[in-house]
Amino acid sequence: DKSGSLYLFMNLAFALTFLIVRVLGYGLCIADIWAAFPLWQSAGSPFRAVVLGIHVGYVLNLYWARFVVRAAYRRLCATKEKDA
């Protein structure tokens, strides 16, 4: 039942977990990669391709985050309207 409080809680828990792990955590990992640039600046093309792939994955997570936040916001607003 999508109108129940458990569904709302799980929806918000998913959104919060997604944002913490895939946006904040992933972003911190990318910052760490760049902080260690002197260690890998002389690495070959395969390693640089991995670094590029990690950045592409982060951009994809940012894209998905828009939809996750929008869905959680809609669910939260629908609950507030129902209570009013």
Question: Please, which pLDDT band fits residue 83 given cuts at 50, 70 and 90?
Answer: low
Taking only the tens place, the pLDDT of each residue in 14-54 is 999 999 999 999 999 999 999 999 999 999 999 999 999 99
Query: pTM score, two decimals?
Result: 0.82
1, 19 Cβ separation under 8 angstroms: no
Distance of CA 30 to the CA centre of its chain: 13
Amino acid at 55: H
Query: Could you please report the per-residue DSSP string of 17-51?
Result: HHIIIIIIIHHHHHHHHHHTHHHHTT--HHHHHHH
Query: What would the two tokens of residue 75 be?
Result: 């669910």
